[in-house]
Chain A
Amino acid sequence: MLAAEPKSVGRPVLRKEDNRLIKGLGCYVADVNRPDQVYARIVRSQVAHAKLLGVHLEEARARPGCVAAFAATDIPDIAQKKIPVRITPSRLDQFALQTPLAVDKVRYVGEPIAVVVATDPYVAEDVAEDVWAEMEELPPHLDPLSAGGSVLHEMVPDNIVGDIDTSNGEDVDGLFRNADVLLHQRFSIHRHSAAPLEPRGLVAEADPQTGRLVVWGPTKVKHFNKRVLASMLDLPDNRILLIEPDVGGGFGPRGEFYPEDFLIPWLALRLKRPVKWIEDRAENFVALNHSREHVIDLTIAAQSDGTLLGFRCTDWCSVGAYVRTTGLTVAKLVGLHLSGPYRWRGFSSKVIGVLTNKTPLGTYRGPGEVEATFVRERALDILAAKLGLDPTDIRRRNLIPAEALPYRVETGPRSETLEYGSGNYPAMFDRLLANAGYQELKDEQARRRELGEAVGIGVACFLDQGGIGPFEQARVVAEVDGTFTGYVGVASVGQGVQTALAQILADEIGVSVDRARILHHDTDSIEDGMGAYASRTTSVGGSALVLAARQLKDNARRAGAQRFGVAEHEVELRADEVWARDGRVVTFRALECEASARFETSAIDFSFGSVLATVSVDRGTGRVRVERYVGHYDVGRAVNPLIVRGQLEGGAAQGIGGILLEELAYDDRGQPLCTSFMDYMLPTLSEVPYIETAWSEFPSEDNLIGAKGAGEAGIIGSMAVIANAVADALDPDRMVVTSTPLRADRVLGLLRASSSAPPHGISSTLDST
């Protein structure tokens, strides 16, 4: 009898994805080429807000090499083809949805106004330049706080597309009245781009033999997008096949349904030729969903010993010109994550989605969570300083203790109840401080301060949510060569899903991991799926795989027993073989086994994380150098430690870039100022320190894997912890950092401000009541 195969879950299995990719044999959408293909180019508005009076295509159509050119007037019923909201609808969003081409108004620089098609991509760009539009410019509405101003959508008269209230516990006014201290602060967070290294693209072809419309390029939420596309094209769902190629990073915005996701397939049907569209980087900066732009007012009530009582918060979220598929999710998650891993007696928040003449907003890694964590953790530091408490002490005092878990947080009559499941927040926080050597860091800081250095230490604690349902499906097939294929409806955005899920599948069956493969690439392989977002691929997708594998084993047992003519209880499963008592054996593959299953969950996993960072600020140039970055996260269960570590480190690096270097700005005419990698500065190796990462595993009880997600945890605390460290470096009261980013010239301004007393420009008020 063979020895049982050692389990691969929990081991740092090297990735199956790598072999092709390190050889340059990946197939990203730009590498897909179809015979007789033509090249599309989107013509985009150069004006932020205008009535669109006409789009002129005559010159474009006359240029040699132009195959076709279309504006809204060429697409029947385009005004009714609105890109729907997938999650988090809001009151008036139906009046602020985007059509694939602008019909009578343009509302952001980059909005598609026409699409042209040519024989090669160079000529397509020539043709696009021949298109011109007649517009009547309107003043742009750019500031989410300004009431009035230009109206973007007729039926949304004050540009407020919706709002979401949360409320919890005791009456907040009462808490404020009885508090020893109230801290009021306004924070502002800048606009970010996820900026995946691969721009978007699509290749669409109407297959002449099957009559199906095949589209390469979709990812993330393929099944939803297929349904939307079918609806917009008036086709039955099964006439469309979406194929996910290799994907050069997703981070949230890639894979949502954009105007191009309609236009390119429409062109393929219209022209009866394959159509290839590859976005360039300048387009990506104005077309890919932006994220994170908020102004947030927070008032916290506390006792003088640092006990938190309650808070009230208003978030004005600049959602851009249209409500995109992720609806008001970014703002909603701010409201749900403000309270974080702490005990409060009550709180209330209102998040408001405000339309602005900028690129629309979507979810970006740790959406709303990064922002809420920044605001709350900054406020805790300011409060701690004013109360004379160490920042670690105020957190320890208020972290939800282990014995209080699972901890339920009601968030109001029209909002969901949050349940924080397993974990031990105070113990993990102490572990972080021990790993970082907190006391030694403080001592060293004191020594360096004596020498005149501006050095700071920051901490932050947060909750990460993941494992969102409602379901995933999986199908497992025993192949003739002895391998097993698992089909799943999740997606890959480069995070290693093929390896981690293969480990889960292999372990469940009892074979070595090289005998399991995962396919997720197209919408045919599995009937339905939710996709890759909210840190759910391993936990929810993996659970579906486990159920399918168990079903496979049941099927094999039944089929094997039947083959042997014995009762089911008389056969034994050993890995992928069915054994009769008399020594007869048959393999799963010989039985041609396959099975499908569906895993459903309505739970959301909340996992604790904490981070510490040290920075030194160059007083002469304003440069912030991150010296140490230490994180401790609860990943539930690390299916593949290599992949988990990679996700946590990558998320931290992205967050460090986000607060210190990256900034999407607009001028007062609504013109974007950052449309290249020279202006939007992703960090290089020189700007990212060694990220020290450790984790605990408090398994989730809401899925079969126990995993809680690691894809977003790495970024969630990054903005807060760097901001806290910089504030500590600049100012003993830690009050000066209330907005992001912390680029050199801002830091120089803060240095100037903090050297005079009281710091000016700070709208922080601290009242003793």
Chain B
Amino acid sequence: MKPPPFHYVRCSSAADAVALLSEGGEDAKLLAGGQSLVPLLNFRLARPSLLVDINHIEDLDYVREDEAELCIGALTRQATLERTSLRSCWDAIAEAVPLIGHYPTRFRGTVGGSIAHADPSAEIPVLCLGYGARLTLVGAGNQRIVVADDFFLGPFMTLIEPSEILTDVCLTAPPLGASTAFEEFSERHGDFALASVFAGMQLIDGVCSWVRIAAAGVGPTPVRAAAAEAALLGSRASDADLREAAAALASECSIRDDFHCSAKARSEIANELALRALTRARGKQVGVAGRRSEGLHQPSSESSAGEDN
């Protein structure tokens, strides 16, 4: 499983990258972290004629938080984001990023790369939808900003034009005092998720005044669960309300059966994850600690009897 032949060039600025992409045509591809692209090269599922290595572009590796937004350079490594302390409204990021791939892959994988690659089960695109991200795309002689809701077109397909490069992603801060949570299910540690859900919520005087629900694994792209959000907005976010919202998400599930998981099971899982994410987000609002169903540092489910040191 060795890559097919290609030409390779490093560049040191976004403008340079754009110029190289223009010259290279449809068969030119950007190489950032490589954790998605190089396996595709090894399988020979990708056969670019030119690889443009953008790892040396400066100024695209940053995390800047202010009151209104969180801006992340496209070349920021996932591990960097994982290590960055952020205030509590960005909890969903702290919960999601450690679930992306594995520890070693996060040193190389980039935030922008994950967004541009647009694997339908990826975590960062869900965060983009949940946080209403604005994505900056730089092309030949122009720059545009696209909102996340419009950005994902299909599996591995986005609005990025062949000669454009994603440079920055700015997530919109939730209203002051809102809470967020992220839930994911994969059968094995670190695997592509069968489904994942972002939930953001704010309760004012017991009434849900802001809600965001986004999910992956329920369709060909990550989705904003508009019907589920509508069900919750203005409600008291009771258990029944949350169940209804979770069910609304699941009923919009348009994924097909695949070998790993039937569509029916996937929608059941999405339903369950939505319920858990919403419950925890609500719990953070009312000051009740929630137990995360998956993820890190969970109390080991092994019995303590006989456990090694």
Interface residues, chain A, CB within 8 Å of chain B?
121-122, 125-126, 129, 280-282, 437, 616, 618, 620-623, 625, 627-628, 661, 665, 667, 673-674, 676, 678-679, 681, 683-687, 689-690, 692, 743-745, 748-749
Contact = CB atoms under 8 A, between A and B. Distances in A.
Nearest to A660: B187
B5 A683 contact: no
Contact of A661 (B4, B188, B261, B271): B188
A437 B305 CA distance: 10
Contacts of A744: 185, 187, 194, 261, 265, 269
A568 B269 CA distance: 80
A744 B43 CA distance: 27
Given A620-B276, A665-B259, A744-B269, A686 B185 contact: no
A624 to B, nearest CB: 9
Contacts of A280: 1
Given A122-B2, A126-B5, A748 B302 contact: no
Given A745-B261, A745-B265, A616 B301 contact: yes
Given A121-B2, A280-B1, A687 B303 contact: no
Given A689-B301, A690-B307, 15 more contacts: A280-B1, A620-B293, A621-B185, A673-B259, A678-B192, A684-B189, A685-B189, A686-B188, A686-B189, A689-B302, A690-B302, A690-B308, A744-B194, A744-B261, A748-B269
Interface in B1-40: 1-5
Interface string B269-309: 10111011000000000000000010000000111011110
Interface in B170-209: 185, 187-192, 194
B100 to A, nearest CB: 15
A743 B191 CA distance: 14
A620 B187 contact: no
Contacts of B260: 679, 743, 745
Q: Which of B190, B273, B276, B305 has the most CB of A within 10 A?
A: B305
Given A282-B43, A621-B269, A661 B303 contact: no
B259 A679 contact: yes
B216 to A, nearest CB: 15
Nearest to B257: A745
Given A628-B303, A744-B185, A621 B2 contact: no
23 contacts: A122-B3, A125-B44, A620-B275, A620-B293, A621-B273, A623-B185, A623-B187, A625-B301, A627-B301, A628-B302, A661-B188, A679-B260, A681-B188, A681-B191, A686-B188, A692-B306, A743-B187, A745-B266, A748-B264, A748-B265, A748-B268, A748-B269, A749-B264
Contacts of A621: 185, 269, 272-273, 293
Nearest to B43: A282
A616 B194 CA distance: 20
B235 interface: no
A620 B306 contact: no
A230 to B, nearest CB: 33
B307 to A, nearest CB: 5
What are the 4 closest A-B residue pairs judged by CB atoms, nearest first?
Answer: A620-B272, A745-B265, A686-B189, A280-B1
Nearest to A630: B306
Nearest to A622: B265
Contacts of B190: 684
Contacts of B191: 678, 681
Contacts of B194: 744
B88 interface: no
Nearest to A687: B188
A281 B190 CA distance: 20
Nearest to A435: B306
Contacts of B259: 665, 667, 673-674, 679
A621 B293 CA distance: 10
B262 interface: yes
A661 B276 contact: no
Contacts of A665: 259
A689 B304 CA distance: 11
Contact of A749 (B4, B188, B265): B265
Contacts of A125: 1-2, 4, 44
Given A745-B260, A748-B268, A683 B188 contact: yes
Contacts of B271: 620
Contacts, number: 92
Given A620-B272, A678-B191, A745-B262, A690 B2 contact: no
B93 to A, nearest CB: 22
B47 to A, nearest CB: 10
Given A678-B192, A684-B189, A745-B260, A627 B303 contact: yes
Contacts of A281: 1
B186 to A, nearest CB: 9
Nearest to A615: B301
A743 B260 CA distance: 9
B16 to A, nearest CB: 28
Nearest to A444: B303
Contacts of B269: 620-622, 744, 748
Contacts of A627: 301-303
A489 B251 CA distance: 63
Nearest to B308: A690
A282 B44 CA distance: 12
Contacts of A689: 301-302
Interface in B38-60: 43-44
A280 B39 CA distance: 13
Nearest to B42: A280
Contacts of A745: 260-262, 265-266
Contacts of B268: 620, 622, 748
Contacts of A282: 1, 43
A239 B260 CA distance: 49
Nearest to A616: B301
A625 B303 CA distance: 12
A665 B257 CA distance: 14
Contacts of A690: 302, 306-308
A621 to B, nearest CB: 5
Contacts of A686: 188-189
A438 to B, nearest CB: 13
Interface string B83-117: 00000000000000000000000000000000000
Nearest to B195: A621
A665 B259 CA distance: 8
B129 to A, nearest CB: 22
A289 to B, nearest CB: 20
A283 to B, nearest CB: 8
Contacts of A623: 185, 187
A416 B1 CA distance: 46
B4 A126 contact: yes
Nearest to A121: B2
A684 B188 contact: yes
Contacts of B4: 125-126
Contacts of A692: 306
Contacts of B303: 627-628
A126 B2 CA distance: 9
A676 B1 CA distance: 11
Contacts of A685: 189
Nearest to A693: B306
A748 B44 CA distance: 35
A749 B265 CA distance: 7
Q: Which of B3, B5, B275, B301 has the most CB of A within 10 A?
A: B301
A676 B273 CA distance: 28
B187 A618 contact: no
Contacts of A748: 264-265, 268-269
A733 to B, nearest CB: 23
A280 B305 CA distance: 41
A683 B186 CA distance: 12
A316 B148 CA distance: 53
A125 B276 CA distance: 48
Nearest to B2: A122
A622 B260 CA distance: 13
A661 B189 contact: no
